[in-house]
């Protein structure tokens, strides 16, 4: 068991703070998931258990004052996580790192499919919970990553562990980059991205916006790509004619794609190809996902 990553998350914690690990015991056909606690008390009592089990699959990004991963029990906020499971992952990751800088850890959770998690660690831990939640939500929506992974209790796949779902070895690229919460606030502001609030995700109501873009990119596409794009563009034009504002047209169009059980990355890719306002599209996807019963 490589404790480099566990010890990095425990940096700047006080004695008794908890980090949470999820381990799977595959000895003798067992597949039991459980959460041993790992305390910063100099004894690391769960190390023996982890060695016995074989590997740790998940690790919490933040630390806690007791054994409950809840908002009220946060002891340190240690950074942000983005989880890319589908879509053009390479392009999405490059876009994020070009805008916000290199991730501290780039974890390839499924090398055969390129599934990736980006971990941006803070140089010093944070306790501004409300601001952290707003920035994490906004960062996630901008990135086009898994829209369900922005909250305080999230865990990420332990670097260099074995992915229990497929048996693949998890890979990692490490940098010395460290950030601060204020850095992300400034970067979002520099890119004219307004902070979202968790309250914004509680109902699938339409938003009013005067921003709209028309389709511009047509080169380097196959005939099949162009036919699909023309089909989506025709569908969107129909909503543009029916709805009183561009934002409401985008909402109805995205809702129709979700009803077809398209995933978030695929929806955002369609929106991008049509030249739609990507920030507004991100917000709409999140609002519908949190309120639509048939979500994927």
Residue 99 pLDDT: 93
- List the structure tokens of 179: 């950030």
Residue 12: which domain range?
A: 4-200
| pLDDT for the residue 22 | 73
In a domain, 261, yes or no: yes
Q: Say if residue 80 is in the same domain as residue 146.
A: yes
User: Is 0.75 surpassed by the pTM of this model?
Assistant: no
Give yes or no: residues 193 and 146 share one domain: yes
Asked if residue 161 and residue 83 are part of one domain, the reply reads: yes
Together in a domain, 209 and 183: no
Q: Indicate if 150 and 253 belong to the same structural domain.
A: no
Question: Domain end: 151, 175, 200, which one?
Answer: 200
In this structure, are 223 and 243 located in the same domain?
Answer: yes
Same domain for 195 and 217, yes or no, is no
Same domain, 94 and 188: yes
Q: Give the count of domains, the chain.
A: 2
Do 190 and 223 share a domain, yes or no?
no
Query: Which one of 167, 200, 233 terminates a domain?
Result: 200
Same domain, 41 and 27: yes
What confidence score (pLDDT) does residue 17 get?
A: 79
Contacts of residue 45, defined as CB under 8 A and 6 or more positions apart, other chains included, come to: 39
Residue 268 CA to residue 288 CA, distance in Å, equals: 13
Mean pLDDT, contiguous 10-residue spans, the chain (296 residues): 71 76 59 56 48 64 84 90 89 93 92 91 92 94 86 84 73 92 95 84 41 40 56 76 77 83 80 76 76 42
> What pLDDT, on a 0 to 100 scale, did the predictor assign at position 130?
93
What is the structure's pLDDT at 65?
85
Here the CATH number for the domain that contains residue 162 is 3.30.70.1790
My answer on whether 185 and 46 are in the same domain is yes
- Write down the pLDDT at residue 4: 77
Cα(214)–Cα(275) distance, rounded to whole angstroms? 5
- What's residue 30's pLDDT? 52
Instruction: Give the per-residue pLDDT at 259.
Output: 77
Residue 296: the pLDDT is: 36
Residue 296 falls inside a structural domain: no
Side-chain-side CA neighbours of 6 within 13 Å: the count stands at 24
The structure tokens listed for 37 are 């606690």
The pLDDT value given to residue 227: 58
Are 196 and 89 part of one and the same domain? yes
The residue out of 145, 172, 200 marking a domain boundary is 200
Residue 235 lies in a domain: yes
């Amino acid at each position: 068991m490589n404790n480099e990553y566990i010890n990095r998350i425990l940096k700047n914690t006080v004695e008794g703070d908890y980090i949470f690990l999820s381990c799977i015991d595959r000895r003798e056909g067992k597949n039991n998931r459980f959460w041993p606690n790992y305390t910063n008390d100099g004894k690391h009592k769960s190390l023996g258990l982890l060695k016995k089990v074989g590997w740790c699959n998940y690790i919490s990004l933040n630390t806690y004052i007791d054994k409950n991963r809840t908002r009220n029990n946060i002891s340190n906020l240690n950074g942000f996580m983005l989880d890319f499971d589908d879509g053009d992952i390479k392009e999405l990751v490059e876009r994020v790192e070009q805008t916000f800088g290199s991730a501290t850890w780039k974890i390839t959770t499924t090398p055969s499919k390129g599934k990736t998690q980006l971990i941006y660690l803070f140089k010093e831990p944070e306790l501004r919970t409300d601001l952290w939640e707003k920035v994490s939500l906004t960062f996630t929506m901008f990135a086009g990553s898994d829209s369900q992974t922005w909250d305080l209790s999230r865990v990420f796949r332990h670097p260099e562990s074995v992915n229990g779902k497929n048996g693949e070895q998890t890979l990692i690229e490490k940098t010395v980059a460290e950030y601060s919460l204020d850095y992300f606030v400034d970067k979002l502001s520099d890119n004219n991205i307004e902070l979202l609030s968790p309250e914004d995700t509680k109902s699938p109501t339409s938003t009013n916006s005067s921003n709209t873009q028309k389709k511009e990119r047509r080169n380097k596409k196959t005939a099949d790509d162009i036919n699909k794009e023309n089909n989506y563009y025709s569908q969107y034009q129909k909503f543009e004619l029916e709805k009183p504002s561009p934002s409401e047209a985008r909402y109805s169009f995205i809702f129709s794609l979700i009803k077809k059980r398209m995933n978030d990355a695929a929806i955002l890719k369609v929106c991008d190809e049509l030249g739609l306002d990507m920030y507004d599209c991100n917000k709409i996807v999140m609002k519908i996902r949190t309120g639509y019963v048939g979500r994927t």
